[in-house]
Structure 1
Amino acid sequence: MTTFIKIEEPHKGPVDTTSFALWRLGFRPFYLLASVFAALSIALWALQFSGWMQHAYLQGPIWHAHEMLFGFTLAVVVGFLFTAGRNWSGRPTPTGWPLAALAGLWVAGRVLVLTPFGWAAALVNAAFPMAAAIALAIPFVASNNRRNYFFVGLLVLMSAASMGVHLAQLGVITVPGWAGIQVALDVVLFIMAVMGGRVIPMFTNNGVPGAKAQRHPLVEEMALGSVLATLAGDVLQLPPKAMAALLAVAAVAHLIRWCLWQPWTTWRTPLVWVLHAAYLWIVLHLALRAISMMGGLPPSAATHALTVGAIGGLVIGMMTRTARGHTGRPLRTDRAEVASYVLVLGAALVRVVLPLVAPAMTVPAVLSSAALWSAGFGLYALHYWPVLTRPRLDGKPG
């Protein structure tokens, strides 16, 4: 089937840059919500520790992990896929009141986990990725965009993982809730590996004169296949030695992939080097997790290398680049954006490295990392509030 993509006519007449544009395209509300939530969730975490939220349905580390994945990360993924999906399919993705309703569903999920209403929280949090999957499937199927069908499947899997966490929390199933968290981590890792492979070499060659970032078919297969194998291993609960072997192969494959992208050529271009720096955290996550499987390191180091380093770094980098591109702004950074990169990647270094080299400094490391993370995403939210809520500078739709 042939897909016809409408070519937009150049805008004529005066450009409206003052009206409210938050619901015009998926990245706008979800990037803003995710960044605000990333900054404020540290305060919620502190309130839980202080005993002010004893009525909350999800508490402690399980709340922290759940909200990192099914709150913050999933919001960015959905915002990105709704925006990119329109370009991939040539068909509209949710805008206007349907987009506002999906954003409201996400907000409801964040609120309900802090209330005593466990079943309501479970249903709403599982419903959000499922609704996003359906909304994404409609343009993909209409345009026969089979290359990206798997994103729909991954969102459905995230819905199932979320429900698994909640059913365990509610005592309905005996499988621990952390199993659902691990599956969700693997799914997000695969999404980052796929999208990183698509955009980082392209952004490098487009943004850095003379760069020769490459993609090798065998390396691509090994990198993506090893992540899928890791996901399967976690689902099947393979023995630690087998998982360590899988993770070691994955770490080597992703390191080779990263080197082929010529990261050392990008240091003068923050909009590109932030993505390379974040992707390196995937390599470190896989290596640290392989070591932890053999009992050599605490598993939290590997987990935070993925969540704070890779997810945080790729999210802050992609949110700035795609927001600039889809609002008609030049693809270059200012001081506030570079500062947000440094703060988020600094949070990863402090959270992962300091406890490893000085275990007695774990608590100060956690607090310092939290402050850096909150400052980085808080800066993004403040800086991009007018960008995300106002129309494109070039007058085009979106």
Structure 2
Amino acid sequence: MTGRPPETARVTEARRGHARWSQPFRPFFPSAALVGALLVAPWLLAFLGDWSVPIPGGALVWHIHEMVFGLGLGAAGGFLLTALPAWSGTPMLRGRGLAVLWGTWVAARGVVLLAGTLPGPLVALILLLPTLGMGSLIAAAIMRGGAIRHAVFAVTALSLVAVHALFLAVWLDLPMPGFLVSWIDARGLDPLRWLGDLGVLLLAMTHACVISRVAPVLGPEALRLSGRHPEVRADPARARLIALTLGATVAACAVAPLSPVTGWLAWAAAAAQMDRLGGIWIGRAARHSFFHGFVLATLFLVVALVLLGASRLLPVAGLDAAWHAAGAGTLGVGCLTVFGVASRRHMGGALPLSRPATAAIWLAATGAALRVAAPFTWTVPWGADALAPLLLWASTVLWSGGFLVFLIGHARPLFGRAPSRAPQPKGASA
């Protein structure tokens, strides 16, 4: 017997191990950021130059898969597996278990490039393993901790597993039950684009629900740093409305993606996002990037939902812009804000964010805005040949540059020593 409380013993053991495996965000945040920094430009080269990629479906399918189930999954999983133990009081994944999970994610990034040469079932198994592992661990953490208020994260994580499994089955031409084939064909859309879009929506829903939990913590922090009295409070009703409207929109996109009902639900979800922004707004104190990064991510989600609704209810061709507002905007900016905040708070640091973290957020936001604008130039007589490629390259340089700036600015804290303080107590946390 050492006389130490169990949690103290666990923290001491974590410090003895390699710092990289002491908390889930440590390997996953820089790895996901590396995907964002390096893997968009090759896709754009292939897209604009008709470069043949030896992958089933070509460069576009590879791009969709890596942005959703590579970067998006790694970032969301790394955050939730770090935050949920603090929120629910359950043990955190550390050491060898964390290393194995990260190893499956890294292996998937390499195997996806060999999808055209390896047996399809083997490729599908390797690519699905990290998604299944993260989804199961997230759901288990919520069930063990009895944290029903966080059940939405279990729902989105397990739904992402199902979407990924269907994506792989369609992509790699694996056998599927007849009813599934009929159901997918009845959607009337390119199945891989449709499933990729569902993955983006599920990740955007995850980010929106994370913002509902961290804004009541970060808002008062921003007010204190601005010399004002903290006055932001949690609003469970608004948080539930966010989850319900986004959940209904995801369900509609899964069941009847072309229906006008999907458009109305998307607009209702956009209205709920704007209502939430009004509830958490803190005026000039929002100048702190650890707060306004989440505001920017929410505004991109509003744009995505408005464009999604318009594409179903009006003669507007804004669907590509909608998905990039949700993907490059909400997920990209949201990820970098989460990276910065979690890297500070879970390693004994203090807010506000560093200059590189703030620069990364704004680079990604600017790049995402240009990417959202690009599809609207395709119908302009001279836009498709000149303006659209310029916007695509500028958006790629800025957006990927944001992730590169984050990596350079946070190399030492992310790969340095283990955290100097114990995990935060049960309850809300940023």
**Fold shared by both chains (TM-score > 0.5):** yes
In structure 2, distance between residues paired with 1:104 and 1:238 = 35
- Partner deviation per Cα, 1:145-181 (whole Å, 9 max, x = no partner): 3333442332222111111111111234543222321
Alignment: residue pair count: 389
C-alpha RMSD over aligned residues = 2.7
Q: For residue 22 of structure 1, give the secondary structure of its aligned residue in structure 2.
A: helix
> For residue 221 of structure 2, what is the aligned residue in structure 1?
206
> For residue 371 of structure 1, what is the aligned residue in structure 2?
397
Higher mean C-alpha deviation, range 308-317 or range 43-52 = 43-52
Q: For residue 93 of structure 1, give the secondary structure of its aligned residue in structure 2.
A: coil
> For residue 41 of structure 1, what is the aligned residue in structure 2?
39
- 1:147-226 correspondence runs (5 A): 147-172=149-174, 174=181, 175=184, 176-208=191-223, 209-210=228-229, 212-214=231-233, 216-226=235-245
Quickly say closer, same or farther: Cα 1:70–1:393, change in 2 above 3 A: closer
Higher mean C-alpha deviation, range 230-239 or range 260-269 = 260-269
Q: Aligned partner of 1:291: which letter?
A: A
Higher mean C-alpha deviation, range 23-32 or range 358-367 = 358-367
Higher mean C-alpha deviation, range 188-197 or range 37-46 = 37-46
In structure 1, distance between residues paired with 2:53 and 2:236 = 52
Quickly say closer, same or farther: Cα 1:114–1:240, change in 2 above 3 A: same
CA contact (8 A) 1:288 1:302 kept: yes
Quickly say closer, same or farther: Cα 1:362–1:38, change in 2 above 3 A: same
Structure 1: state its 5+ residue gaps. Answer: none
Higher mean C-alpha deviation, range 204-213 or range 95-104 = 204-213
Q: Does 1:391 align with 2:417?
A: yes
Quickly say closer, same or farther: Cα 1:141–1:260, change in 2 above 3 A: closer
- Partner deviation per Cα, 1:191-245 (whole Å, 9 max, x = no partner): 1221111112321122223464455555444332111111111121154321111
- Partner deviation per Cα, 1:261-286 (whole Å, 9 max, x = no partner): 11533343122111111111111111
> For residue 368 of structure 2, what is the aligned residue in structure 1?
348
Aligned partner of 2:276 among 249, 257, 260: 257
Quickly say closer, same or farther: Cα 1:395–1:264, change in 2 above 3 A: closer
CA contact (8 A) 1:112 1:120 kept: no
> For residue 75 of structure 1, what is the aligned residue in structure 2?
74
Alpha-carbon distance, 1:43 to partner: 3.8
Higher mean C-alpha deviation, range 208-217 or range 103-112 = 208-217
> For residue 316 of structure 1, what is the aligned residue in structure 2?
336
In structure 2, distance between residues paired with 1:98 and 1:45 = 33
CA contact (8 A) 1:212 1:261 kept: no
Query: Structure 1 length as normaliser, TM-score?
Result: 0.89
Query: Structure 2 length as normaliser, TM-score?
Result: 0.83
In structure 2, distance between residues paired with 1:147 and 1:397 = 20
In structure 2, distance between residues paired with 1:315 and 1:365 = 22
Q: Aligned partner of 1:372: which letter?
A: L
- 1:1-398 correspondence runs (5 A): 20-46=18-44, 48-49=46-47, 54-57=53-56, 59-115=58-114, 116=116, 117=118, 118-172=120-174, 174=181, 175=184, 176-208=191-223, 209-210=228-229, 212-214=231-233, 216-237=235-256, 239-262=258-281, 264-293=283-312, 294-356=314-376, 359=380, 360=383, 361-392=387-418, 394=420, 396=422
Quickly say closer, same or farther: Cα 1:390–1:119, change in 2 above 3 A: same
Quickly say closer, same or farther: Cα 1:281–1:144, change in 2 above 3 A: same
Quickly say closer, same or farther: Cα 1:229–1:327, change in 2 above 3 A: same
Q: Aligned partner of 1:330: which letter?
A: A
In structure 2, distance between residues paired with 1:76 and 1:253 = 25
CA contact (8 A) 2:328 2:368 kept: yes
Q: Aligned partner of 2:33: which letter?
A: S
In structure 1, distance between residues paired with 2:421 and 2:273 = 40
Alpha-carbon distance, 1:51 to partner: 6.6
In structure 2, distance between residues paired with 1:198 and 1:295 = 37
Alpha-carbon distance, 1:42 to partner: 2.1
Alpha-carbon distance, 1:93 to partner: 2.4
Alpha-carbon distance, 1:393 to partner: 6.0
In structure 1, distance between residues paired with 2:50 and 2:20 = 36
CA contact (8 A) 1:343 1:376 kept: yes
CA contact (8 A) 1:251 1:286 kept: yes
Sequence identity, in percent? 25
- Partner deviation per Cα, 1:54-85 (whole Å, 9 max, x = no partner): 32245222221111110001101111111112
Quickly say closer, same or farther: Cα 1:324–1:235, change in 2 above 3 A: same
Q: Aligned partner of 1:256: which letter?
A: D
Q: Aligned partner of 1:85: which letter?
A: L
- Partner deviation per Cα, 1:359-379 (whole Å, 9 max, x = no partner): 512221111101111111011
